Amino acid sequence: MKITKYPQSTFVIESGEKRILIDPGSFALEKFKKTDFEPLQAVLVSHQHFDHLNKEAVAYWYRKGIPIFGNSDVAEVLSAEDVNVNKVESQKEFEIAGFKIKPVDLSHCKMLWCNSCNEIVTGDKIIIDKKCKLHLDKEPAKVDGPPNTGFVINGAFFHPGDGIEISGLKVDSAGIPITGPTINYDNAWVLAASLGAKKVIPMHYSNPSYQADPREFSKKNVSNIEVVILGDGEYVDLGL
């Protein structure tokens, strides 16, 4: 099974001649054409945020007859684009194109809320120390993010979306978000350890609003977990 990484949290998983795409976000679609990800047998979306869901691209693949999978929140968002999503249920495994896919609900990392602006501190308003650039003297509050569903592929590779905490799941390999509103290297390593992963691929560091470097993340490794740092369009073969 071959795992190819693209900007932010976008991955293509290949097995034989079959390919599935996970979280085709806007950072990936800024750098790569839609056809660069094809051919595809399915598209999986973890949650509604633009860096994981480029609506125009997903609508394009849907019109080509490629099935789209996501949670109920993703389905509601995409219904406005006339895209019918195959709704997934947590822990209810399904098979598509020979891939066994197990959806796993886990909470999105906490988002930052500016009480002065009365809104989420979005990437265009955040500064490096994760405060609202309009109100530097105020510490943002932490609020829940949208529903988030991770995916275990063939029992071997886990894509957590923007989830950073989970218990009871063990996998050999995983994509690990290393930065975000409330994600840092330390809690990213806690996630990797909790999964019992032997191999991790750093992800979710393409947004310039959040400063992170996978090499610096790797230096925090205090275990025997292998860190596979992939450039955009590079892959690793898990040998499965």
d(CA 141, CA 86): 34
* % residues pLDDT > 70 (the chain): 98
d(CA 206, CA 5): 12
How much is the mean pLDDT over the chain?
95
**CB-based contacts of 156: which residues, under 8 Å, 6+ apart?**
1, 171, 172, 173, 238, 240
Place of tokens 């990213």: 188
Alpha helix ranges (H) inside 116-213: 185-195
What's the helix, strand, coil split of the chain in %, to 5? 20, 30, 50
Pairing of strands 235-237, 94-96: unpaired
In this predicted structure, the answer to whether residue 3 has a pLDDT above a threshold of 80 is yes
- For residues 220-229, give the mean pLDDT: 91
Domain boundaries, the chain: 2-110+145-237, 111-144
Give the model's pLDDT for residue 223.
84
What is the dotted CATH code of the domain comprising 2-110+145-237? 3.60.15.10
User: What are the tens digits of pLDDT across the range 28-63?
Assistant: 999 999 999 999 999 999 999 999 999 999 999 999
More confident residue, 114 or 169: 169
Give the model's pLDDT for residue 228.
98
User: What are the tens digits of pLDDT across the range 93-150?
Assistant: 999 999 999 999 999 999 999 989 888 887 777 766 788 888 888 889 999 999 999 9
